[in-house]
Amino acid sequence: MNLRNLVVYITSLLWLNLTDAKIGYFWHITDLHYDPFHSSREIHRGCKYNRGDTEHGHRAGRHRDHTCDSSWSLIQSAAAFMAERHPDTLEFVLWTGDILSSSMEHESEETKLEAVRNVTDVLSRTFSSQFVFPALGHNDPPPSRRLVDMWMQWLPTEALQTFETGGYYTIEQSRSKLRIVVLNSVLWAGGAAKTDGPHRGRSQWEWLEHVLSKARRKNEMVYLVAHAGPGVDERHNAGSSSAAGGGELTPTANTRLLHVIRAFSDVIAGQFYGHRHADTFRLVYSEGRPVSWALLGPSVTPRGAGSMSNPGLRLYKFDSNTGKVLDYTQYYLDVTNTRGEVHWAVEYNLTQYYGLREVSATSLDSLAKKIRNFHDRTTLTKYVTALRVRHVTDVSDCDAACTHVHFCAITRADFHEYRTCVRNPASALASRAPQIPAAVILYAFLILISC
Ligand SMILES: [Zn+2]
């Protein structure tokens, strides 16, 4: 061990003692899209929910169809796998919506609630001593007394009050300084729910700002959790207001949420969303500086929203005293290549996979720059492979323009900025260049004229 390594070693030991990190874990599961009629669909019609989609190139069995939403046995296998992987220090589960298959849209409220109850029961058996925090997606029933009755096993009274009227709530972790804020993104998507779910005369916006201000006063750190988060879906020519709908935030809601995130970036320790059926991330900047990150988990359903992917489950590792996210392990089920049996496996580990020193807005900003680097496609290849949860590993179809679109989607959560970025690669490169403070320029100028 040379001197430098020795110093690093001693420093890290001291650091561990000083910070006294308490390691905890939580699962993030999203977009289960359970289809109770899966088997009959498969036998009689196939799972072609989209008009004109009649080819089933790799249909081979119960789980192995990328045009089908989740069967009951897929949900059960995911639950069984999570139960088996239970770390002792598993603290909670984030469950970010789209519980039901979009094919159930026209089913009765009763049928939908029955399906939600079945999934709820599986999760409640799987996590018998943890709390599950559900967020509503656009394919889910709206908040109601029936949902409150189902989820009261996990949510305290105060949370149930705001949940029943607006579908949003906050949870205070009693043993730490971490607060979980679960939002109802459907209210901001201009979709089914037209009201803003006022609770005691407050809209979700007012409520959110109130909760974040209070968290700041109490020195708490906050996780923002929702089905859909800010930013665009690069696969859908998104960023145009016509692309909103289907659960995406409206342009107005997107702008406002970004504003709130910037204003409270000192309080927000992380953002966790689903909805895209893709493994990706988003960054929020303030005056050119990365100030907040959002990690989007892939879906449990193999049925893609635009492109196909494998089912995924994500286990986060965090410091449960401070809420700081330390890492996650991404698990996946190779839908097309398994031979008969269902085999969930590790896909990758965030910090190792991308060589990150830590999970922060700054480190993810550097990662975004590596993804954009067209001369070294190693990071881009990793990113695109993960994006589709290893369903496709050949990324040769992603040319320079495609690479640039990925970069814009990650770094431009504002719809307008995204469109500008896509249209103008050169300005995108320039705008993130480090800015030289005016004082430095003046100093250099003074030196120059004094010579
Ligand atoms: Zn979904």
pLDDT tens digit string along 155-202? 999 999 999 999 999 999 877 899 999 999 999 997 544 455 555 557
pLDDT at 244 over 50: no
pLDDT for 435 equals 44
Average pLDDT on 17-30 reads 83
112 C-alpha vs ligand 1 centroid, how far in Å?
Answer: 15
For the ranges 23-37, 85-99, 236-250, the lowest mean pLDDT is seen at 236-250
**Most distant CA atoms of the chain, gap in Å:** 86
Average pLDDT on 284-312 reads 91
302 C-alpha vs ligand 1 centroid, how far in Å?
Answer: 10
220 C-alpha vs ligand 1 centroid, how far in Å?
Answer: 31
pLDDT at 428 over 50: yes
254 C-alpha vs ligand 1 centroid, how far in Å?
Answer: 18
pLDDT at 247 over 50: yes
Residue 11 lies in a domain: no
Banded pLDDT at 41 (limits 50, 70, 90): low
Residue 3 lies in a domain: no
When divided into structural domains, the chain yields a total of 1
Tokens of 126: 């799987």
pLDDT for 37 equals 86
158 C-alpha vs ligand 1 centroid, how far in Å?
Answer: 28
2 C-alpha vs ligand 1 centroid, how far in Å?
Answer: 52
Mean pLDDT, all residues of the chain: 84
pLDDT at 263 over 60: yes
Range of the domain at 364: 21-450
Average pLDDT on 93-115 reads 94
188 C-alpha vs ligand 1 centroid, how far in Å?
Answer: 16
Average pLDDT on 62-84 reads 85
Residue 99 lies in a domain: yes
- What CATH number has the domain bearing residue 367? 3.60.21.10
Residue 14 lies in a domain: no
- Mind listing the pLDDT tens digit for each residue in 292-305? 999 999 999 988 76
290 C-alpha vs ligand 1 centroid, how far in Å?
Answer: 28
280 C-alpha vs ligand 1 centroid, how far in Å?
Answer: 15
Banded pLDDT at 344 (limits 50, 70, 90): very high
For the ranges 8-12, 359-363, 386-390, the lowest mean pLDDT is seen at 8-12
- Mind listing the pLDDT tens digit for each residue in 45-59? 456 555 434 333 334
pLDDT at 389 over 60: yes
pLDDT for 340 equals 63
CB contact at 8 A, 412 and 418: yes
Banded pLDDT at 103 (limits 50, 70, 90): confident
Average pLDDT on 20-37 reads 92
102 C-alpha vs ligand 1 centroid, how far in Å?
Answer: 8
54 C-alpha vs ligand 1 centroid, how far in Å?
Answer: 21
298 C-alpha vs ligand 1 centroid, how far in Å?
Answer: 9
274 C-alpha vs ligand 1 centroid, how far in Å?
Answer: 7
Average pLDDT on 259-270 reads 98
Quote the CA–CA distance of 429 and 153 in Å, as a whole number: 50
In the chain, what percentage of residues exceed pLDDT 90?
A: 63
Phi, psi of 47 (to 5 degrees): -100, 45
437 C-alpha vs ligand 1 centroid, how far in Å?
Answer: 44
192 C-alpha vs ligand 1 centroid, how far in Å?
Answer: 15
pLDDT for 134 equals 98
332 C-alpha vs ligand 1 centroid, how far in Å?
Answer: 17
pTM: 0.86
pLDDT at 240 over 60: no
139 C-alpha vs ligand 1 centroid, how far in Å?
Answer: 7
- Mind listing the pLDDT tens digit for each residue in 354-370? 999 999 999 999 999 99
